[in-house]
Amino acid sequence: MFDEQVVQCFLENQLQLYPEKVAETYEEAENFLEECMAVVVDSVREVWEFFEEEGVDMEDADEEEILEAQEVFAVGDGRYLIVDV
């Protein structure tokens, strides 16, 4: 479900969301993302739409604030991983 770049991004950056590692290996990271029903989107606009659909109050938030949310990981190729906590 998640490609290598997405899983590796989470594995390397998971401490931005959690106080300690939730996964030590690639396989653990992949399983964790599947279990928590993480989502990969293709643009900032889709990150915004995801938060709107989830009912997150984004009034007065700008693009930078949305992308700095702890649960948003920039994959590095224009996509974003959103780990719904």
- Terminus-to-terminus CA distance in the chain, angstroms? 19
3-state secondary structure of 81: strand
pLDDT, tens digit only, all 85 positions of the chain: 899 999 999 999 999 999 999 999 999 999 999 999 999 999 999 999 999 999 888 788 888 888 999 999 999 999 999 998 7
3-state secondary structure of 66: helix
Contacts 24+ apart (CB under 8 A), 66-70: 70/16, 70/17
The residue among 57, 12, 7, 50 whose CA lies nearest residue 32 is 7
Q: Yes or no: say if 48 and 80 are a contact pair by the CB < 8 Å rule.
A: no
Instruction: Provide the residue ranges of all domains of the chain, joining segments of one domain with +.
Output: 4-82
